[in-house]
Amino acid sequence: MDTVSTTPVDRGTPSGRFWFWFGMAVSFSGIAAYLVQFFVFKQLSVMPWYAPLLASLGVAMVFLSLRKRRTTPRLLGLLLVVIVAGFEWFYVLSFTKLPPYAGPVVGEKLPSFRATLANGQAFANADLANDTSTVLVFFRGRW
């Protein structure tokens, strides 16, 4: 009777494959979530701040897998997720930047205006001429 002996596979050192694929999935999940937000829920005014955060987390995971084992596909994957994260950060930071304030400064006379109060009553700049203290709040909004 012949005995065949095989050497057991050494599973002591993890290859980092899990971190690579999980990092790639996390990186692109932000884009997928934004597409769902945009096309399914029709929420166009909500900025997808979560997308660059997820992409940055994915970069860290792919980098961790590259430290475990350096291969060309992992290096290319890291380059891809860095480009995706950079684009997402550029997108979010450039579209959330508010324009410079061009409203009235302290002490400047207001131009003539008409507005409606919260209770529906008409209001104009002539109503500010009396001696009562008035606070005007300029809400720029997000449109």
pLDDT in tens, 41-51: 888 778 889 99
pLDDT in tens, 63-78: 999 999 999 999 999 9
Closest CA to 141 of 104, 108, 112, 99: 99
DSSP output for 74-97: HHHHHHHHHHHHHHHHHHHHHHSP
Is it the case that residue 95 has pLDDT exceeding 70?
yes
- With a pLDDT cut of 70, the percent of the chain lying above it is 90
Residues 116 and 118: their CA atoms lie apart, in Å, by 7
Range in 67-71, 84-88, 106-110 with the lowest mean pLDDT: 106-110
Residues 13 and 27: their CA atoms lie apart, in Å, by 25
pLDDT of residue 41: 87
